[in-house]
C-alpha cells in the first residue's frame, strides 16, 4: 500500500521563515525546517515552546502570520485542500462522537477524506491495528488506550503521505506506549509514511525517531538526524541528557 504521492521530489514537510504572532506575542520565530519523505521526525520542546502551534500550522488548522509551509509539495495556505488529502492527524486527547459506533465514526471520517471502498478500508485498518471486532460498539464505553487506537485508525484510513501525531503517548500505560511505538514503526516501514510527532517522552524518541528538532521559546534551536545527533554528543548517555544540554545552552 503506497501513500498518496508528493509533488515531484519535494520533501514531505518544508517550512520556510514561518513566524506566528498571537495577541501581539510572537510565539514562533522564523522557523525553517525540511523533512524528507520517509522520516520519523520527533519534535521536542518544553510545554509552551510552540509545538502544538507549529503542528496546527502544518495541518492547515492555523494560518501563520508570515512564511511558507509546504506539505508533500503543496502550500498549506493556497492549496489547503490538497494538503489535507495527504495528511493524517491525531490530536492530543482525541475525542469522538460517543453516541456513534466505531464503524460509524470511522466511516464518517473516511468519507470526508474521499476514501472509496469504506468497508474494506476500515476492515483493513482495524486488522492492521489488531483491533478487529469492535466495529459495532459505541465509543462511550471505550478506555483511553482504545480511543487512541481509533484515533490512529481515523488518521491512517486514507493512506496519508504524512502523519501528524500530537503527544500520542500522553496518558497511555507502558503496554499502550509499546503498542503505539510498534504501530508507528510499521506505518513507516510497511506503508512508507512520513511521521511528524510532538512529544515529551525522550526515551520514545530514541527508540522510534530517525531525526529530531528542538523548539525552545518559539525558536528552532536544533535539528538533525538521530544518527548525527548521537555522534555529535558522544559523552551523553541518553537523549535526555543531550536535550537538557541544548536547552541550558539556549537559555543561558
Q: Does 173 bind another protein (CB under 8 A)?
A: no
Beta carbons within 10 angstroms of residue 181's beta carbon? 16
Return the residue of 41, 89, 222, 243 that touches another protein, per CB under 8 A. 89
User: Cβ closer to another protein: 105 or 229?
Assistant: 105
Give yes or no for residue 112 binding another protein (CB under 8 A): yes
How many angstroms separate the CA atoms of 50 and 46, rounded?
A: 9
Residues 151-170, interacting with another protein (CB under 8 A): 154
By CB under 8 A, name the one of 32, 97, 227, 238 that touches another protein: 97
Nearer to another protein, 158 or 239 (CB): 158
How far is it, in rounded angstroms, from Cα 197 to Cα 190?
Answer: 18
Among 10, 26, 108, 240, binds another protein (CB under 8 A): 108
Pull the grid cell for residue 201.
517522552
Minimum gap (Å) between residue 142 Cβ and another protein: 9
Q: Which is nearer to another protein, 118 or 221 (CB)?
A: 118
Should residue 231 be labelled a site residue for another protein when binding is judged by CB under 8 A?
no
Q: By CB under 8 A, what part of segment 64-83 binds another protein?
A: 81-82
Q: Which of 84, 180, 199, 201 binds another protein (CB under 8 A)?
A: 84
Q: For another protein, which stretch binds (CB under 8 A), given 99-107, 119-127, 128-136, 190-198?
A: 99-107
In terms of CB distance, is 114 or 174 closer to another protein? 114
Please name every residue paired with 28 in a beta bridge, in sequence order, or none if there are none. 20
Q: Does residue 103 interact with another protein by CB under 8 A? A: no
* Binding stretches for another protein (CB under 8 A): 59-63, 81-82, 84-85, 87, 89, 91-100, 104, 108-109, 111-114, 116, 140, 154
Amino acid at each position: 500500500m503506497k501513500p498518496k504521492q508528493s509533488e515531484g521530489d519535494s520533501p514531505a514537510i518544508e517550512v520556510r521563515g514561518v513566524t506566528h504572532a498571537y495577541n501581539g506575542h510572537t510565539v514562533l520565530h522564523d522557523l525553517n525546517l525540511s523533512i524528507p519523505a520517509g522520516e520519523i521526525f520527533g519534535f521536542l520542546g518544553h510545554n509552551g515552546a510552540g509545538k502544538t502551534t507549529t503542528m496546527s500550522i502544518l495541518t492547515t488548522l492555523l494560518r501563520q502570520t508570515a512564511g511558507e509551509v509546504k506539505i508533500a509539495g503543496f502550500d498549506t495556505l493556497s492549496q489547503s485542500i490538497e494538503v489535507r488529502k495527504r495528511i493524517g492527524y491525531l490530536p492530543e486527547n482525541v475525542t469522538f462522537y460517543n453516541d456513534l459506533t466505531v464503524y460509524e465514526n470511522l466511516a464518517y471520517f473516511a468519507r470526508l477524506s474521499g476514501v472509496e471502498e469504506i468497508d474494506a478500508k476500515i476492515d483493513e485498518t482495524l486488522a492492521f491495528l489488531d483491533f478487529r471486532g469492535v466495529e459495532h460498539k459505541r465509543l462511550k464505553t471505550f478506555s483511553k488506550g482504545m480511543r487512541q487506537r481509533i484515533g490512529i485508525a481515523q488518521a491512517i484510513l486514507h493512506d496519508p503521505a504524512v502523519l501528524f501525531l500530537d503527544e500520542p503517548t500522553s496518558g497511555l500505560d507502558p503496554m499502550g506506549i509499546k503498542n503505539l511505538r510498534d504501530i508507528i514503526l510499521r506505518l513507516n516501514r510497511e506503508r512508507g509514511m512520513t511521521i511528524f510527532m510532538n512529544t515529551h517522552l525522550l526515551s520514545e524518541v530514541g527508540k522510534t525517531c530517525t531525526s529530531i528538532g528542538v523548539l525552545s521559546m518559539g525558536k528552532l534551536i536544533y535539528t538533525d538526524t538521530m544518527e548525527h545527533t548521537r555522534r555529535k554528543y558522544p559523552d551523553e548517555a541518553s537523549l535526555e541528557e543531550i536535550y537538557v544540554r541544548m536547552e541550558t545552552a539556549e537559555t543561558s
